[in-house]
Amino acid sequence: MHQFRTLLDKEPYLFTSGVGTPLDAQIAERVGLKCVYLSGYTLAMTQGYPDMGFLTMTEVAKAAGMIANAVHIPVIADADDGYGNALSTMRTVREFIQAGVAGLHLEDQKYPKRCGHLAGKQVIPLDEAVGKFQAAIDTRDRILPEFFLIARTDALGAVGGSLQHAIERGCVYADLGMDSVWCEFTSPDRGPVVEFAQAIRRAHPQLPLS
């Protein structure tokens, strides 16, 4: 668990790769990556499903544990929307800690969630998202304080969303105490990426961006 935070402190940029199986993770480790990311999209594809929330929390946590046991580098896991409400999110954090991963990311999408690059996404109300992320933080702090929590917002590409909305949500999530924030971008245009990163960095200069 401490290994991932140490890497963030030492590395100017921590490059990772999305994996879906233990073999993927072992290959990534063999070629020199210092951490891997269990991609929900990739995991869903390996099971023959689209990335639209078909896999359950227990299925993803089991896959995360298998990957964590297969490598010696930290694993960050995609935990979708926490698989329900704030109570479900509490159990999700507990299960992923027990799986042995170094951290996870949670998103603010409305159920049923979908791949971040698909049209038609919706985000839950901000107060509901705050409740879920706070539940994640409280659970983490009680069980394993070094566990790394990333807040992902899909507000930019959501129906009626905007970059400003994404920035506002990112700042709120960082204020709560999430370890890092991530805005899902739906195009390769670097303009919004840079603007989001700069806005978050101004408000939280020590926050690592995902």
Burial track 84-97 (b if 16+ CB lie within 10 A, e otherwise): eebeebbbbbbbbb
Given a contact cutoff of 8 angstroms between Cβ atoms, the answer to whether 77 and 60 are in contact is yes
How many residues are recorded in the chain? 210
The H or E element that residue 157 is part of is: none
Q: Are 137 and 86 in contact (CB under 8 A)?
A: no
**Adjacent-strand bridge partners of 182:** 152
Number of other residues whose CB lies within 10 A of the CB of residue 31: 8
Nearest alpha carbon to residue 137 among 155, 151, 153: 151
Sort 32 into a burial class: Cβ within 10 Å, 0-12 / 13-18 / 19+: exposed
Is 35 a known active-site residue? no
Q: What is the SS3 assignment for 130?
A: helix
The dihedral built from the CA positions of residue 86, 204, 155 and 105, taken in this order, carries a sign that is: negative
Q: Out of 35, 115, 171, 183, which one is annotated catalytic?
A: 115
Q: Which residues are catalytic?
A: 115
